[in-house]
Chains A and B, each alone.
Chain A
Amino acid sequence: MTATRVFTRSLRAGVRSLALHKLRSLLTTLGVLFGTSSVISMLAIGEGASYEAQEQIKQLGSQNVILRSVKPPDSPNDTNQTSRVVNYGLTRMDRERVEDTFVGIEKVVAVREIQQEVRVKNRSANPRVLATEPAYIDVTGRMVWEGRFITEEDDRSLNNVCVLSTELARYYFPLESAVGKRVKIGPDYFDVVGTVAPRMRAADDPAPAGEEVTGELFVPYQTAMRWFGEIQVKMRAGSRDMEQVELHEIIARVGRGEDVPMVAAAARTMLERFHDKRDHDLIVPLELLARAEETKRIFNIVLGSIAGISLLVGGIGIMNVMLATVTERTREIGIRRALGAKRRHIVSQFLVECVLLSVGGGALGVGLGLAIPLLVEEFADMRTIVTPAAPMIAFGISAGVGVIFGLYPAWRAAEMDPVEALRHE
């Protein structure tokens, strides 16, 4: 008989034998089902983690070391209930130290966040108002969309100019270009000189605080110092919080990638030496990548073990059921042998059934494996990516499990003595 006819016939025969015991067949496939779905989920979560890390790095700049001010959780000032000013965070001195003493630094920019209402005619909102230096645009790699960014000249001359991110420009000036218009920041008017492309939101960014407006507004550092001063008033749940933070962020751009760990270490030492409060955070995008790789590794170990154990248990389950089937069908084997079946015919008959079981489990497992990453995204807020290779790998593994664990029962069937087998009741 031609190979394809032999193949389709054994396939049909296999399906039919398995269909005789539907529940048993279904239960037998469960192990492989969970095994394959674990493989797919593992690959998807791993892919997602490294993609996320890469995106973050793209956004924060792989050669940057970022120092941020963080409000210390138990500031002793909190206990003084009256409106004392909470003082914490990075200082201009920190900035000087980074610039003057760190080796391998190319550029340093400081960012200060201003709490002010921004209005244009009757539209008003509280976007992030960032006082920063001209180099900000280079260090963060953001793109000027229209007009220009803040210049040295703006800073020196304390010009009342500002730059909007495009989504903010669209909010305030939905119908026309923002450049050349005026916005009112707190009590003062600023000229819009340019717009910059929006920033992708990184996973550990503070979520937009329930506001309808996202995006940022940039003003020259010195201008902001002059108009808005050092002390920020935050309205929170009816109470007034006064904070004094000199700088919210210092971004240090390292000249060569291999110097990043050194600069990160120096920054850590410096922060520890000059800040006795935990009022700062150090973000090293390169380390984020390492952390993502670590996450991926842990997921690979955990899910890999689950997958391995499930596939092993599934395989043993299939083997167990097939051994029982072989015994149950001893007489059938004897009949087939008497009618001319060779050993390999018997082997392939039972192997086909095993592979059908495991591939059936594998197919269901692929289904589940595609669903799990969706659930993970939904509930664990992790990014997952299913590459086309993943289901194929998982499917291949399940077929392999069928072959490996089917070989022994199939061999047992083929080695039976035909005379004995025919006598079997």
Chain B
Amino acid sequence: MITGTDTVAALEDVRRTYLMGSNEVHALDGVSFDIERGQYWSIMGASGSGKSTLLNLMGCLDRPTTGTYWLAGRDTGSLDDDDLSDLRSTHLGFIFQSYNLIPQLDVLENILVPIYYQDEPAPDAEDRARALADRMGLSDRLDHRPPELSGGQQQRVAISRALVNDPDLILADEATGNLDTQTATEILDLFDELSAEGKTIVFVTHEAHVAERASHILRMRDGRIEEVKVQR
């Protein structure tokens, strides 16, 4: 497969099949596309069309049944569990719909979790974490626990956490799904900012107006790519 020099992630004929009793469910049924550095992809599709499965594969939390997935220049099929964990802690950033912060850790510690699991963390990681928290307007909340924060604040902590390792790819699954319109807009503006700074983002959503902000819109249907629309 030929990929551009600045290809962050590449999927080639990726299939993911679940066995439900004797039935095979093709959650992904031959998916191929490349994501270049700096692109902002929206993934859309009906419920059950395979969006989350795709995102889990791209996040190295799951493996294709067949097909190849390249991330940061490496064929993930040849990597073992520890290597995939390394990829997650150094090259990927996750943002979830339900924030997924760790309740017994304070804000700063939550932001630093990916750093904790790196083999060779940058010495200035903590400064980075503080700077990110500052940017997200969280600097006076660093020693608070997640349950003491509003939904918007929690998602900002999650975004800081996703950025703290300066990832090649940021994966967001319905990241604004739990937020009110006002806060959702703020978060989406933040994603626009990040994209403008050159971050590579994949954003799963079922809302058209959210998808409109992306550079590429990928529409899924029954585990296949129905359409890829390039906006800019």
Contacts and interface: CB of A to CB of B under 8 A. Distances in A.
A396 to B, nearest CB: 29
B104 A339 contact: no
B190 interface: no
A334 B116 CA distance: 15
Contact of A422 (B61, B105, B117): B61
A8 B59 CA distance: 30
B100 A340 contact: no
Contacts of B118: 1, 340
Q: Which of A16, A20, A337, A422 has the most CB of B within 10 A?
A: A422
B114 to A, nearest CB: 5
A337 B61 contact: yes
B74 to A, nearest CB: 15
Contact of B121 (A1, A338, A339): A1
Contacts of A13: 104-105
A332 B81 contact: no
B81 A338 contact: no
Contacts of B165: 340
Interface in A359-373: none
Interface string A394-425: 00000000000000000000000011001000
Given A1-B121, A342-B117, A343-B81, A335 B104 contact: no
B82 A338 contact: no
Interface in A321-374: 331-332, 334-343, 345
B86 interface: yes
B155 interface: no
Interface string B58-95: 01011000000000000000000110011011100010
Contacts of B104: 13, 16-17, 20
A9 interface: yes
A419 B56 contact: yes
A332 B96 CA distance: 13
B216 interface: no
B61 A419 contact: yes
A342 B81 contact: yes
Interface string B104-131: 1100000001101110010000000000
A338 B94 contact: yes
Contacts of B61: 337-338, 418-419, 422
Given A16-B104, A20-B104, A331-B100, A336 B82 contact: no
Q: Which of A13, A339, A343 has the most CB of B within 10 A?
A: A339
Interface of A: 1, 9, 13, 16-17, 20, 331-332, 334-343, 345, 418-419, 422
